[in-house]
């Protein structure tokens, strides 16, 4: 199934989907492979193509990964949260975002497929030039993958909490990812969405974050 959205529609309505993930509809591997073929056309620094994509369908492994996520989410959820101030659109949405994030944490393993995108190399304690270069060779492809999902009536949510507090190493051991040679870029549930209509998100005005010639 394709939604036949325009490029602008795909770019502006691809949301982090949590409560609207359809946990009951199976996801065919062929559709994921099709999305990945699209994602692999994304930019890659010096044409290194050092990306790797770990997809998890096994119920036991999904549960184990979700448990790693939940352990870290509890720490994250109980930490002091950033205050944006009265009238800020980000503050107005904060409770809803936390509620949907909690829902995902509670149900993570129910997603038909989980994905962990990886990039060759360890980035610990490297200078910003190096980390920007390496992540710039993975994250555009991840976003392209999410856009391809959207066009096919599917959704995901970009999460990184499982990487906290040794969780990345635990996930690597569970899935056989060579931790000393490969860095994980996040954890993504993959499912069809409950409905395919998504609105534009409320964002800060471009004028507030745009700079010309100086800050």
Mean pLDDT of 173-179: 98
Chain-wide mean pLDDT for the chain? 95
Global pTM value: 0.94
Which pLDDT belongs to residue 83? 78
Measure the CA–CA gap between 156 and 20, rounded to whole angstroms.
Answer: 10
Inter-residue contact 144 to 41 (CB < 8 Å)? yes
Is 203 in a helix, a strand, or coil?
Answer: coil
Band of residue 163 on the pLDDT scale cut at 50, 70, 90: very high
Which pLDDT belongs to residue 1? 83
Tens digit of each residue's pLDDT (9 = 90 or more) over 66-110: 999 999 999 999 988 787 877 787 877 778 889 999 999 999 999
Tens digit of each residue's pLDDT (9 = 90 or more) over 20-59: 999 999 999 999 999 999 999 999 999 999 999 999 999 9
Reading phi first (left if > 0) and then psi (alpha if -120 to 50, else beta), residue 201 is in beta
Band of residue 182 on the pLDDT scale cut at 50, 70, 90: very high
Pairing verdict, β 154-155 and 21-22: unpaired
Q: Six-digit token pair at 189?
A: 């549930």
Q: CA angle, 48 as apex, 53 and 171 as ends, to 5°?
A: 30
Quick count: other Cβ atoms within 10 Å of Cβ 80? 5
Which pLDDT belongs to residue 110? 98
Inter-residue contact 162 to 168 (CB < 8 Å)? yes
Tens digit of each residue's pLDDT (9 = 90 or more) over 114-154: 999 999 999 999 999 999 999 999 999 999 999 999 999 99
- Of the candidates 125, 152, 132, 156, which has an alpha carbon nearest to the alpha carbon of residue 53? 156
Which pLDDT belongs to residue 87? 77
Residue 22 φ/ψ, nearest 5 degrees: -90, 105
Encode 24-47: b = buried (16+ Cβ within 10 Å), e = exposed. eeebeeebbeebbeebeebebeee
Inter-residue contact 164 to 86 (CB < 8 Å)? no
Inter-residue contact 197 to 169 (CB < 8 Å)? no
Kindly list the structural domains of the chain, giving each domain's residue range(s) and its CATH number in brackets, ordered by start: 7-200 (3.40.109.10)
Which pLDDT belongs to residue 96? 85
Which pLDDT belongs to residue 90? 85
């Amino acid at each position: 199934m394709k939604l036949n959205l325009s490029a602008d529609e795909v770019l502006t309505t691809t949301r982090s989907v949590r409560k609207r993930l359809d946990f009951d509809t199976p996801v065919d591997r062929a559709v994921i492979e099709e999305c990945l073929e699209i994602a692999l056309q994304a930019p890659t620094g010096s044409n290194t193509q050092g990306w790797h994509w770990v997809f998890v369908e096994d119920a036991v492994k999904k549960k184990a990964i979700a448990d790693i996520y939940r352990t870290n989410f509890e720490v994250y959820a109980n930490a002091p949260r950033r205050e944006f101030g009265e009238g800020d659109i980000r503050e107005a949405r904060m409770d809803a975002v936390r509620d949907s994030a909690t829902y995902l944490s509670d149900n993570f393993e129910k997603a038909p497929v989980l994905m962990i995108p990886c990039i060759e190399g360890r980035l610990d304690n490297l200078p910003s030039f190096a980390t920007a270069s390496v992540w710039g060779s993975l994250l555009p492809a991840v976003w392209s993958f999410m856009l391809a999902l959207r066009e096919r009536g599917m959704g995901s949510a970009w999460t990184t909490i499982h990487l906290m507090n040794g969780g990345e190493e635990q996930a690597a051991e569970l899935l056989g990812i060579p931790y000393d040679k490969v860095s994980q870029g996040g954890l993504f549930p993959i499912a069809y969405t409950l409905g395919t209509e998504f609105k534009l998100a409320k964002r800060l005005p471009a004028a507030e974050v745009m700079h010309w010639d100086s800050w």
